[in-house]
């Protein structure tokens, strides 16, 4: 009962802090360095692109209070690793990083997990059970933060797409972490979910603020850390399949890790208020391009479609978890 009460208070606090800070950033931040162009609007408005700071502040403050009340090493990692990732994202928002530098920097959020040994090198695979990969697991932890950060960032391209694509996954992980008795991980997911809802108030169409790399990195690091701490690695991978495949197809179609700004053409175009998929085979293949390939669609419709896809992959992940429990 006490744990549930703390969670409810944490969720309400995160929602309020995020909504207030998102509003302040949307209305008062005007530094040219932190402004971005909303390319999917006819007037091409410039709006603040570091709304993820509101997410990081809400998440950090609430998780810090939870840790001080009675947290251990797992709660410390759930606080520190996401904030490290958020700082890296803020650096990239301030000054674009080399496509090869960012993956290296994103190794840093994994260090608290490894140094504090808040991982179990026996990931649970449905039907098979626990698999011993003692030597390889730490390497996978290092790689995971980079892979998930790039995957989630690749979907954060439309108004509301970051929150709508992440919420189903976070809510699933919160429920499964609760069932596994890892209440710190469940709290982290719920706190970030509440922060995303507060942020969505200003990020929904027409957006007054973007999440930026600071926001997508934070979300990615929370998801990754929860997956490790709660031993939900395979389940999380299934839930993230749309994000991971999107990033994979982008990398392959672009011929490697490259900045999107270096491309001469785009996978989608904005025509008469609608998003139109490119018909050139050589253009990058993305999730948004695939969704809009049948007919021109509004930005809102595509964002909702991304949410539906994320819900579907999360349901598949839930089924994966149940299979694992039944065959354990």
Residues 313, 307: Cα–Cα separation, whole Å? 10
**Residue of higher predicted confidence among 110 and 285:** 110
Stated length of the chain: 328
Rounded mean pLDDT, 167-174? 98
Q: Does 100 reside within a domain?
A: yes
Cis ω on the peptide bond leading into residue 206 (within 30° of 0)? yes
Give the pLDDT of residue 261.
56
Q: Does 282 reside within a domain?
A: no
pLDDT in tens, 249-281: 988 877 766 655 555 567 888 888 899 998 888
Q: Does 15 reside within a domain?
A: yes
Give the pLDDT of residue 282.
78
Helix axes 2-28, 52-70, angle to 10 degrees: 150
Q: Does 264 reside within a domain?
A: no
Measured in whole angstroms, how far is the alpha carbon of residue 53 from the centre of its chain? 14
Work out the burial of residue 5: count CB atoms within 10 Å of its CB; fewer than 13 is exposed, 13-18 middle, 19 or more buried. Answer: exposed
Q: Does 159 reside within a domain?
A: yes
3-state DSSP assignment of residue 47: strand
The owner of tokens 């479609």 is 305
Give the pLDDT of residue 232.
96
From 90-104, 105-119, 153-167, the region with the lowest mean pLDDT: 90-104
Give the pLDDT of residue 3.
74
Question: With bands split at pLDDT 50, 70 and 90, how would you rate the model's confidence at 97?
Answer: confident
> What domain range is 186 assigned to?
2-254+301-326
Task: Using the Cα atoms of residue 168, residue 224, residue 94 and residue 193 in order, give the sign of their dihedral.
Answer: positive
The domain total for the chain is 1
Question: With bands split at pLDDT 50, 70 and 90, how would you rate the model's confidence at 64?
Answer: very high
Do residues 306 and 286 lie in contact, with contact meaning Cβ atoms separated by under 8 Å? no
Q: Does 85 reside within a domain?
A: yes
| Share above pLDDT 70 across residues of the chain, in percent, rounded to a whole number | 96
Q: pTM here?
A: 0.95
pLDDT in tens, 10-55: 999 999 999 999 999 999 999 999 999 999 898 999 999 999 999 9
Give the pLDDT of residue 42.
87
Q: Does 312 reside within a domain?
A: yes
Do residues 109 and 145 lie in contact, with contact meaning Cβ atoms separated by under 8 Å? yes
**Residue of higher predicted confidence among 248 and 264:** 248
Residues 313, 115: Cα–Cα separation, whole Å? 32
Q: Does 309 reside within a domain?
A: yes
């Amino acid at each position: 009962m006490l744990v549930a009460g703390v969670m409810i208070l944490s969720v309400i606090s995160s929602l309020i802090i995020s909504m207030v800070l998102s509003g302040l950033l949307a209305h008062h931040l005007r530094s040219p360095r932190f402004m971005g162009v909303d390319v999917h609007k006819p007037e091409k408005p410039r709006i603040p692109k570091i709304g993820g700071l509101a997410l990081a502040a809400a998440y950090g403050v609430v998780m810090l209070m939870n840790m001080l009340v009675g947290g251990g090493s797992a709660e410390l990692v759930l606080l520190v690793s996401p904030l490290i990732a958020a700082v890296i994202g803020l650096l990239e928002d301030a000054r674009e990083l080399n496509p090869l530098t960012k993956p290296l920097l994103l190794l840093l959020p994994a260090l608290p997990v490894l140094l504090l040994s808040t991982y179990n090198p026996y990931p649970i695979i449905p039907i098979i059970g626990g698999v011993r990969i003692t030597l390889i697991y730490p390497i996978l932890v290092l790689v995971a933060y980079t892979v998930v950060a790039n995957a989630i960032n690749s979907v954060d391209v439309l108004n509301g797409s970051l929150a709508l694509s992440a919420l189903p996954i976070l809510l699933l992980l919160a429920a499964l972490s609760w069932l596994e008795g890892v209440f710190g991980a469940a709290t982290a997911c719920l706190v970030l979910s509440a922060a995303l809802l507060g942020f969505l108030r200003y990020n929904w169409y027409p957006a007054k603020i973007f999440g930026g790399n600071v926001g997508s990195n934070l979300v990615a690091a929370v998801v990754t850390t929860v997956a490790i701490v709660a031993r939900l690695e395979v389940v999380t991978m299934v839930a993230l399949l749309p994000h991971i495949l999107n990033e994979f197809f982008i990398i392959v179609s672009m011929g490697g890790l490259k900045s999107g700004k270096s491309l001469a053409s785009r996978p989608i175009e904005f025509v008469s208020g609608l998003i139109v998929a490119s018909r050139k085979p050589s253009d990058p293949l993305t999730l948004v391009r695939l969704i809009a390939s049948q007919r021109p669609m509004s930005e809102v419709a595509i964002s909702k479609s991304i949410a539906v896809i994320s819900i579907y992959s999360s349901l598949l992940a839930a089924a994966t978890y149940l299979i694992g429990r039944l065959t354990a």
